[in-house]
Amino acid sequence: MTGRIFTALALGLLLYCGPLQATTTLESFTFPDPEQQQHFKDLIKQLRCLVCQNQSLADSDAELAHDLRAEVYGMMKDGKSDQQVIDFLVARYGDFVLYNPPVKPSTWLIWFGPFVLLLIALWLLVRSLRRQQHVTQQAISDADRQRLEQVLRAGGHEEDPRP
């Protein structure tokens, strides 16, 4: 019984504290001038959220995105250049953290994978259509053709002449 109460209290505490963490927004990072703040926003728009994968760090509400924004903010406050920030994140998380990863052997799958899959799909489609065309183009025998003509001439009421 006490285990259930403890579980319910823990769950309630998690539900209560969850929204508090989500209140960390881009506006909570302060800069001396609006240009640096815009520079920060531009930089985190170039970086991909590793959890969401279809959102930038600027757009994501994932916990990891909050942490990475804080990391980028700290590095910018320490005077690191954009390239140093990007190099740090790439060294830590790989090229996938970049929305525009460089074309190199380790990123070929990201760049060329969709085109390879498209070519395979087109090849399978052409192969399937050719097989279907081959099946429909098979000639019927002369005997079957004559029987078909007889049936058509008789209006479909003729009996089957085959034994």
- pLDDT digits over 129-157, tens only? 888 876 665 667 778 888 888 888 887 55
- For residue 91, give both structure tokens: 């060294």
Helix (H, G, I), strand (E, B) or coil at 101: coil
pLDDT for 157 equals 58
Place of tokens 């985190």: 44
List the chain domain ranges. Answer: 2-102, 109-153
- For residue 57, give both structure tokens: 């760090």
- Could you report the per-residue pLDDT of 42-91, keeping only the tens digit for each? 999 999 988 887 888 888 888 988 999 999 999 999 999 999 999 999 99
| Cα gap 133→120, rounded to integer Å | 20
Q: Which fold would CATH assign to domain 2-102? A: Helicase, Ruva Protein; domain 3 (1.10.8)
- Could you report the per-residue pLDDT of 22-34, keeping only the tens digit for each? 445 556 778 888 8
Mean pLDDT of 102-113: 86
| Cα gap 39→25, rounded to integer Å | 16
